[in-house]
Amino acid sequence: MPKPDLIIDSNERGSLCESVIRRAQREGLVVLRKQLVVGDYLSGAACIEAKSINDLFLSSHSGHLWRQLENMDMNYERFFLLVHGSIAKYISMAKNNGKKVSYSRVQNELLGTIARVMSDFDCQVFFTENTSEAAMFVVKLHDKLHKPASRHGAKAIKRVSTNDVRLDMLLSIPGIGREMGEKLLENCGSIEEMAFSESLKTIKGLGEVLRGRIVEVITSEEPVIIQRKKKS
C-alpha cells in the first residue's frame, strides 16, 4: 500500500518547515500544504507538533500548549511532540535578552514540562539538537509509521501483563497507556462505570476521541475494530 502524503500546515513557516520539504522531496515523498485543525505535520492519522525550547516554554506558560494537546487528542489517533534546540543555545539567547537563567533551572523546567505532556496526555515526545535533525526525524517517522511491522517490531510492542486484569483490558485499547489506565480505574472505580461517557469527562488528559473509544469497547455487542492497529 502506498504511503499517504506528508501534509504540512499551511501556516507553518521557517527553517524547519523548509528542511522538512527538502528532505521529503529527496526521499520521493509527496508533500502537500493544507490548513490543519491543530499540529504542524500530518502523517496519515498521526499528528506532529514541533516546537523550539523557547516556543515550548512560552506556550506552556500561556496555556496554549495544553490546549493544543487536548485538540490533538480529540482530532488524531496518534500525536507526537517534537522539541528541537539545545539548552545551551536557549540560555545564551535568554541572557542576551536580559533574563537571569541557569542550566539547572532551564533543565528542571524542560523536564517537568515534558513529564506533564507524557503523563497527562499519553503523548510521545522526541528531542533533537537542531532543525536539520528535526526535519530528518519528521521524514523518518512518516516512513516508519507506514511500513509493515517487522517480526522484531511486533515482538517489541507486545504488552506486558500487569497484576490487574482490569488494567490489562484497558491497556489493550489504543491510546491508553499504563498511567492513563490507572487514572481511569482510580477515578471511575470500575470498568462498568466507564460505560458512561459523563463519568470520563472529569479525567484530565482524556480527550473526546479516546472517551468515545472506551465507551464503544465496553458497551459494543459486536467486535470492535480500531483501524490504528493495522499498520499499512
The CATH number of whichever domain residue 191 belongs to comes to 1.10.150.20
pLDDT for 139-168, tens place per residue?
Answer: 999 988 887 654 444 443 444 456 677 888
Q: In this predicted structure, what is the pLDDT of residue 182?
A: 87
**Quick one: the chain helix, strand, coil %, rounded to 5?**
55, 15, 35
Domain containing 20 equals: 6-145
Residues 62 and 114 in one domain: yes
Residues 94 and 191 in one domain: no
Please report, as a single letter, which amino acid is at residue 217.
V
Q: Is the pLDDT of residue 25 over 70?
A: yes
Q: What total number of domains does the chain contain?
A: 2
Q: In this predicted structure, what is the pLDDT of residue 229?
A: 41
Q: Would you place residue 225 in the very low, low, confident or very high pLDDT band (cuts 50, 70, 90)?
A: low
Residues 88 and 56 in one domain: yes
Spatial separation of the C-alpha atoms in residues 133 and 143, rounded to whole Å: 15
Listed residue (66, 3, 10) closest to 37, CA to CA? 10
Cβ neighbors of 163 (< 8 A, separation 6 or more) are none
Mean pLDDT of the chain: 84
Identify whether 150 is part of a domain. Answer: no
Q: Would you place residue 2 in the very low, low, confident or very high pLDDT band (cuts 50, 70, 90)?
A: low
Q: Is the pLDDT of residue 192 over 70?
A: yes
Residues 52 and 111 in one domain: yes
Listed residue (111, 60, 45, 69) closest to 206, CA to CA? 69
Please provide the distance, in angstroms rounded to a whole number, between the alpha carbons at the two ends of the chain: 6
Residues 138 and 46 in one domain: yes
Q: In this predicted structure, what is the pLDDT of residue 1?
A: 56
Residues 138 and 218 in one domain: no
Asked if 84 and 130 count as a contact pair (C-beta separation under 8 A), the reply is yes
Q: What is the mean pLDDT of residues 205-231?
A: 72
Residues 23 and 73 in one domain: yes
Residues 204 and 133 in one domain: no
Query: For the whole model, what pTM was predicted?
Result: 0.64
DSSP letter assigned to residue 189: S
Burial of 106 (0-12, 13-18, 19+ CB in 10 A): middle
Residues 64 and 115 in one domain: yes
Q: Is the pLDDT of residue 232 over 60?
A: no
Identify whether 230 is part of a domain. Answer: no
Q: What is the mean pLDDT of residues 29-49?
A: 91
Residue 115 burial (CB count, 10 A): 11
Residues 123 and 174 in one domain: no
Q: In this predicted structure, what is the pLDDT of residue 227?
A: 55
